Amino acid sequence: MNTMTNSITAYRKHRKFFATDALTQFINASENLVVLTGAGCSAHSGIPTYRDSRGHWQRSDPIYHQEFISKPSSRQRYWARSVIGWPNVANAVPNAAHYALAAIENVGKIGLLVTQNIDSLHQRAGHKNVVDLHGRLDRVVCLGCGAASSRHALQERLLIANPQLPKSGDFAPDGDADIQIDVTTIDVPSCTECEGILKPDVVFFGDNVKPKIVQSIYQSLSNSDGLLVVGSSLKVYSGFRFCKKAAELGKPIVCVNPGVTRGDSLYKLKVKADCVKVFSNLIEPLELK
* 154 phi/psi in degrees, rounded to 5: -65, -35
**CB closer to Zn ion out of 107 and 194:** 194
Cα three-residue angle 32-272-205, rounded to 5 degrees: 75
User: How many chain residues touch Zn ion (CB under 5 A)?
Assistant: 8
**CB closer to Zn ion out of 143 and 273:** 143
**Binding residue (CB under 5 A) for Zn ion from 10, 153, 159, 194:** 194
Cα 152 to Cα 228: distance, rounded to the nearest angstrom? 33
Cα 280 to Cα 285: distance, rounded to the nearest angstrom? 11
- Residues 133-152 contacting Zn ion, CB under 5 A: 142, 144-145, 147
**CB closer to Zn ion out of 87 and 196:** 196
**CB closer to Zn ion out of 144 and 189:** 144
- Residues 13-42 contacting Zn ion, CB under 5 A: none
Contact pattern from residue 162 through residue 191 relative to Zn ion, giving x for each residue in contact according to CB under 5 A and a dash for the rest? -----------------------------x
| Sequence-separated (6 or more) residues with CB below 8 Å from residue 253 | 226, 227, 228, 229, 243, 246, 247, 263, 266, 267, 268
- Give all strands (DSSP E) within 60-118, no chain letters: 110-115
Residue from 14, 127, 134, 152 carrying the catalytic annotation: 134
Question: Is 134 labeled as catalytic in the residue annotation?
Answer: yes
CB of 78 to Zn ion, least distance (A): 18
Cα 127 to Cα 138: distance, rounded to the nearest angstrom? 17
CB of 74 to Zn ion, least distance (A): 19
Q: Per rule CB under 5 A, is residue 196 in the interface with Zn ion?
A: yes
Q: Per rule CB under 5 A, is residue 193 in the interface with Zn ion?
A: yes
Q: Which residues bind Zn ion (CB under 5 A)?
A: 142, 144-145, 147, 191, 193-194, 196
Residues tagged active-site:
134
